[in-house]
Amino acid sequence: DQQVKQNSPSLSVQEGRISILNCDYTNSMFDYFLWYKKYPAEGPTFLISISSIKDKNEDGRFTVFLNKSAKHLSLHIVPSQPGDSAVYFCAASGFGSSNTGKLIFGQGTTLQVKP
C-alpha cells in the first residue's frame, strides 16, 4: 500500500520556465510534508516543507502548495535552472501518538532542465 505517490517518473522543462512536480497521498493523518532533492551518488537533501495547517510555503524559487481536500501537493520551481536537474522526492510524516517522525517517501520524479 503506497501512501505517497509521485505518478510522473520524469519531467523535462526548458531553463527559465516553471517546473511543477506533483505528489498525492492517501493517509489523512499525515501532518507534515517535505520535498527532498537527490543528486546521483549523494544522499537526499532537504528542500522545503509545509505543515498540514498551511496551504502554501515559499522559499526563494521554490514554492510548495498543499490541497488537503484533494490530498495533493505540488512543488513549483521558478525559474528552473540546469542545476535543478535531479530526482525530487515527496515525503510525508505524522508524529501522532507513536511519537515518531519517520518519513514515507514517494517513488521520486526525475527533473531535467534543458539549457
Partner 1 sequence: DSGVTQTPKHLITATGQRVTLRCSPRSGDLSVYWYQQSLDQGLQFLIQYYNGEERAKGNILERFSAQQFPDLHSELNLSSLELGDSALYFCASSVPRDSYEQYFGPGTRLTVT
Binding site for partner 1 (CB under 8 A): 32, 34, 36, 41-46, 49, 89, 91, 93, 95, 98-108
Strand pairing class (109-114; 10-14) = parallel
Nearest approach in angstroms of CB 17 to partner 1 is: 26
Phi (first) and psi of residue 98, to 5 degrees:
-85, -5
Q: In what order do the strands lie in the sheet with 4-5?
A: 4-5, 19-25, 72-77, 62-67, 56-59
Nearer to partner 1 (CB atom), residue 7 or residue 14: 7
Nearest approach in angstroms of CB 10 to partner 1 is: 14
> How far is residue 115's CA from residue 54's CA, in Å, rounded to a whole number?
34
> How far is residue 93's CA from residue 42's CA, in Å, rounded to a whole number?
22
Nearer to partner 1 (CB atom), residue 69 or residue 99: 99
Nearest approach in angstroms of CB 42 to partner 1 is: 6
Nearer to partner 1 (CB atom), residue 38 or residue 76: 38
Nearest approach in angstroms of CB 14 to partner 1 is: 27
